[in-house]
Amino acid sequence: MVVSPPPLGAAAAGRSSRCRRPTWTSHRFWSAHLGGGDIRTSGTGPALVRQYWIMDKQTEFVLRTVEERDIRFIRLWFTDVLGSLKSVAVAPAELEGAFAEGIGFDGSAIEGLTRVSEADMIVKPDAATFQALPWRGEARGTGRLFCDLLTPDGEPAYADPRHVLKRALAKAADLGFTFYVHPEIEFYLLRQSHVDGAKPEPVDRYGYFDNAPQGIAHDFRRSTISMLETMGISVEFSHHEGGPGQQEIDLRYADALTTADNIMTFRLVVKEMAYEHGVLATFMPKPFTDEPGSGMHSHMSLFEGDQNAFYAPGGEFQLSKVGRHFIAGLLTYAREYTAVTNQWVNSYKRLHGGGEAPAWVSWGHNNRSALVRVPMYKPHKGGSTRLEVRSVDAATNPYLAYASLLMAGLKGIEDELELTEGASDDVWGLTTAERLAMGMQPLPQSLGEALDIMEDSELMAETLGEHVFDFFLKNKRHEWQEYRRQVSQFELDRYLPIL
């Protein structure tokens, strides 16, 4: 199937100045970013040529599905640097052009993407990510596509978190590896929307693995999982977590890019289902002082073809040299990537507030008090050998977080970093002196400290790229300064009566 772009200027007629289809593009854009399509060119001229796009099978499938299922709106999704989901809806008639040319928009209107002087950006859908949104109904439905961000000349936008992860995955591929991740996502269900000054109220008072037949949690998890699986997102487990109203839903293993896309979809589905049940879902790391925080324990492995690169029969814990070097990299650079995996002021209330969150850089076999855990080996299942990073927030930007963890691990492999002895003791039960004597370092104790460490990190500058690295530091330093100037309720209650 061959399509050609509209005449110069025609696509822009009647469109918003902030959202439009580009009316022309360079040959380099077409040749590099069609995602499997082919190019035929004709015509002459110093700057422009006429392009004819041959559609790939995945794109053709999406367009046919949209037509057959009478989908009336397609939401094009992407994230900003902090991980907030952004969306622009297009009509089915515009989708073919979006695949071919992308949709232009004002990047300067989204914080962190680009400067006003370089405002024009292109959002280009990834056909492999198409799904219908089931909560919008079957008749005249709505679909969604994740997108890549491009500059006007068709180059990947350096501010695109998805591109940051793709760049890290490309490095892993150059070394012969594919990176897989399986997240355990925790969150709280609250009774009402937050009102300034009011304390959050959980929907129940149940605890870990409790069966709650009279509560809302069971029905909520069931409807949420049904919605996720309708969208092709497989769920392994779900249960009530340790805090009142706290839930956990675990997504099945997938490659890291698919997993990051699934996490963004998951968050929206959870919030939509919570709204339908008349409650509020929050991924805030630590909403309650005396209850566990919400993390996103991430199980990960590297594969070489169909072989698990972390598995070595007969090795300690069945762990290969590659796996040991990867863990060593995670530990060596843990303090440097923590600002990304735990990017909010509130994140450090979780890390240093107890409730099974790791606060010290350590690893152990089947030790849930360690930062990195090597789960118990399953006999005759070498493919299941993996490691678990337990510090990651449920509210992190998954693209940046997984890019950072992957690059730290690959650095350990490249430099053949040696893995120190694992922690067999309960790290939470040790004194500070005992931890230091064992060679452990504390994770940053505040966002401000984490940013100071990140700023000096060559690894994080390389992983994120200059644009994302600089914006992230600037934005988060502003958040930290805003927090530091606040007078808290704790200070008023403690000091106002006596000082």
What tens digit of pLDDT does each residue of 45-80 get? 333 333 444 568 999 999 999 999 999 999 999 999
Per-residue pLDDT band for 114 (boundaries 50, 70, 90) equals low
Q: Is the pLDDT of residue 423 over 80?
A: yes
Rg (alpha carbons) of the chain, rounded to whole number:
24
* Model pLDDT, residue 54: 59
Q: Is the pLDDT of residue 14 over 70?
A: no
155 burial via Cβ count (<10 Å: 0-12, 13-18, 19+): middle
Residue type, 465: G
Q: Cα 299–302–186 angle (5° rounding)?
A: 15
Average pLDDT over residues 273-283: 95
> Which range has the worst mean pLDDT, 86-100, 116-130, 211-225, 479-493?
116-130
* CB contact at 8 A, 244 and 202: yes
Average pLDDT over residues 23-49: 37
Q: Is the pLDDT of residue 199 over 70?
A: yes
Structure-model confidence comparison of residues 366 and 492, the more confident one:
492
* Model pLDDT, residue 255: 97
Average pLDDT over residues 433-454: 95
Residue 36 falls in which region: left (phi positive, over 0), alpha (psi -120 to 50) or beta: left
Helices (H) and strands (E) in the chain, counts: 14, 22
Kind and range of the H or E element at 335?
helix 334-341
Position of tokens 């169909």? 306
Q: Is the pLDDT of residue 316 over 70?
A: yes
CA quadruple 80, 473, 391, 345: dihedral sign: negative
Per-residue pLDDT band for 444 (boundaries 50, 70, 90) equals very high
* Model pLDDT, residue 209: 84
* CB contact at 8 A, 77 and 146: yes
The pLDDT mean for the chain works out to 87
126 burial via Cβ count (<10 Å: 0-12, 13-18, 19+): buried
- Angstrom distances, CA of residue 137 to CA of 129, 163, 361, 461: 19, 32, 47, 44
* CB contact at 8 A, 146 and 160: no
* CB contact at 8 A, 233 and 266: yes
Per-residue pLDDT band for 376 (boundaries 50, 70, 90) equals confident
> Which range has the worst mean pLDDT, 14-23, 174-183, 229-238, 307-316?
14-23
Average pLDDT over residues 89-107: 92
d(CA 388, CA 7): 53
* Model pLDDT, residue 29: 37
**What b-and-e string marks burial along 143-154, b requiring 16 or more CB atoms within 10 Å of the CB?**
bbbbbbbbbbeb
* pTM of the shown model: 0.88
* Model pLDDT, residue 214: 72
Q: Is the pLDDT of residue 305 over 80?
A: yes
* CB contact at 8 A, 317 and 374: yes
